[in-house]
Chain A
Amino acid sequence: MSEVASTHPRELAHQFQTVEQQRETGRLGMWVFLVTEIMFFGGLFAGYAIYRNLYLSAFEYGSRLLEIKAGTTNTAVLIASSLTMALAVHSAQTGKRKALIFFLLITMFFGFCFLGIKSYEYLEKWNHFLVPGLRFAPTEVLPPGVTASHLELFLCFYFFMTALHALHMIIGLGIMTVLVIMAWRGKFSAQYYAPVEISGLYWHFVDIVWIFLFPLLYLIGGRY
């Protein structure tokens, strides 16, 4: 029995032969989940592509109503949070507990910054009567070829896609809170850090979704 115990590390679950195999299984499992997430967002991107082509001028006009400064700042903030998340995983891999907690907290800070800027943008849309369904009455004269209902459709896509993205971030922040507590209690080591790594994959995925949402919503509406 003692021989078995010595060859079977504490962090290794019974169904795995090696720690390496366990790590690979966890990674693959997370990637399979992310594949379903890609398809989930993919449907929205397909819908966006269809309606953008049908009502191009309304979508371009709507795109110009979005605040490009806020969008660009948020892109930079999210990229910074991806860097700190990667550094958190790095700290976990090298067994640095304090650095891991520090980088997780910084990542959460950037996450909250992003959501703060996003809330400001939502509030601006509310103040300008540009929230479809709830408070929609464009005050500016719409250019020819742009109808209010088509503009409303663009804003539906804008709100639904960004809100779904923000929901993913809120879930990510919840996951990171748990990670900080686990790290604080010393649950991770250079041998066992799978939850940190897998949550990192999730956070980077959310970053990638924004990397596509940003140009599609803010940039390709003819800003010149």
Chain B
Amino acid sequence: MAAEHIVPVKTYIGIFAALLCLTALTTGVAFIDLGAMNTVLALAIATVKMLLVMLFFMHVKYSTKLTKLAILGAFFWLALLLTMTLADVFSRNWTPIPSGWGPSVSAPAPAGK
């Protein structure tokens, strides 16, 4: 019987520290105007954090190929879900929504104004 791979506590502490640093970084970056890069950076940092959690906390790095294949399958289907849906929504020639007869929807005026 093959021995179980036991991740040393040091590795867990290191990953934890990295995750906290990345959280501080992503919050800090949110206060700097980088245009569209804000969204890209936020999602990139979240992806790195996800990979750290998956590879080390969830032991994916030490898993069998079959488990890794199942996980890759998940991301493949998720990518299908997102790209197919978004491609359809943003490339379709939508019929404009009629505004109706009444006054257009707007914010309720604050009291006293």
Contact = CB atoms under 8 A, between A and B. Distances in A.
Q: Is the interface of B mostly helix, strand, loop or mixed?
A: helix
B62 to A, nearest CB: 11
A219 B23 contact: no
A76 B58 CA distance: 18
Interface residues of B, number: 54
A24 interface: yes
A38 B71 CA distance: 10
B19 to A, nearest CB: 5
A106 interface: no
B13 to A, nearest CB: 7
Interface string A181-224: 00000000000000000001100110110011011101110111
Nearest to A68: B27
B33 A224 contact: yes
Contacts of A87: 9, 12
A138 B77 CA distance: 39
Contacts of A162: none
A119 interface: no
B67 A24 contact: yes
Contact of B89 (A50, A85, A215): A50
Contacts of A219: 26-27, 30, 38, 42
B38 A220 contact: yes
Interface of A: 18-20, 23-24, 27-28, 31-32, 34-35, 38-39, 42-43, 45-46, 49-50, 53, 68, 72, 75-76, 79-80, 82-83, 85-87, 90, 93-94, 137-142, 146-149, 200-201, 204-205, 207-208, 211-212, 214-216, 218-220, 222-224
Considering the complex of A and B, which 3 residue pairs feature the smallest CB-CB distances, nearest first?
Answer: A215-B42, A35-B74, A219-B30
